[in-house]
Structure 1
Amino acid sequence: MIMHDFKVQTNWENGRSSIGDFKADHIDGKISIPSELGGPGDASNPDELLVAAASSCYIISLAATLERARFTNVKITLNSVGTASLSESGKFKMETITHYPTIFTDDTEKLEKRIDKLIEIADNNCMVSNAIRGNVEIIVKPTIDSK
């Protein structure tokens, strides 16, 4: 088994109106509470970073799955939506992440026959999907279009 540590350093000062920062090997940025939740909203927030992580992981996994299935001349665009809820008790929770991939290919008929299985394989091979599965529902609604 291969193991790998992904290291992130995060810094924050003061209360909920502040802006923090994070740094990893290949990404860094600012973080804040979204304005819709009473924060300054001047930076990325953990919720959209979670959706971005799920989206980027899924598109890479889908590309690899399509390649292994011999769909090599493809282009993928992906829109992802994270839907969160705030319960009466004040608990904030990501309920669903829905991926809307559009796959452009010269072989639409062949892909349409196999798409259901391929999107399932891609989801099962995505580390972020596997990490949140059982707590956040992952939905994939693909569209196939000619290149």
Structure 2
Amino acid sequence: MEHDFKVKTHWSGGRNEKGIFEADHLKGEISIPSELGGMGDASNPDELLVSAAGSCYIISLAAALERSRFTDVVIEQESVGTASLKEGKFKMVKITHHPKITVNEAEYTKLEKQLERITEIADGNCMISNSIRGNVEIEIDAEIDVK
């Protein structure tokens, strides 16, 4: 089975201009980040890559928690993409997800015992992780909190 995800992009002018992107449920502006000498006043491909990885992982984590019968959970997550300049080229080398999973007191001990397995399952089920694995290191640094 295959599925196409279509995104339209448009750019006019040189590197210090803005472009736009649009998909079925997503629309925005893009520019080169200020850290790389661009305008920096719109989303950039680097943030979009980390956003895609982070949103894919949190959805996969929610599904893995649900399948493991954790029903009363809240997940807040920060994802950090680390880029490196090597031989004159920038490359994303690592994405670290920091999910904070909040559960009720009764489920805390159960989740503590299963956390590593559940976070690995979520990573293995995430299409973006599977697409970039081997080219970008993916790290999960999860923590549990009680409501």
Shorter-chain TM-score range:
over 0.9
Structure 2 gaps, min length 5:
none
1:100 paired to 2:98: yes
Secondary structure of 1:81's partner? strand
Number of residue pairs the alignment of both structures matches:
145
Residue matched to 1:20: 19
Aligned-partner Cα distance in 1 for 2:21–2:127: 21
Q: Where does structure 1 differ by over 3 angstroms across 4 or more consecutive aligned residues? A: none
Q: TM-score scaled by structure 2? A: 0.97
Q: TM-score scaled by structure 1? A: 0.97
Q: Percent identity?
A: 65
Residue matched to 1:3: 2
Q: CA deviation at 1:135?
A: 0.3
Structure 1 gaps, min length 5:
none
Q: CA deviation at 1:37?
A: 0.4
Residue matched to 2:127: 127
Aligned-partner Cα distance in 2 for 1:42–1:103: 32
Aligned pairs for 1:42-81 within 5 A: 42-81=41-80
Residue matched to 2:36: 37
Aligned-partner Cα distance in 1 for 2:141–2:41: 31
CA offsets per residue over residues 6-60 of structure 1, 9 Å max, x none?
A: 1000011121111000000000000000011011111000000000000000000
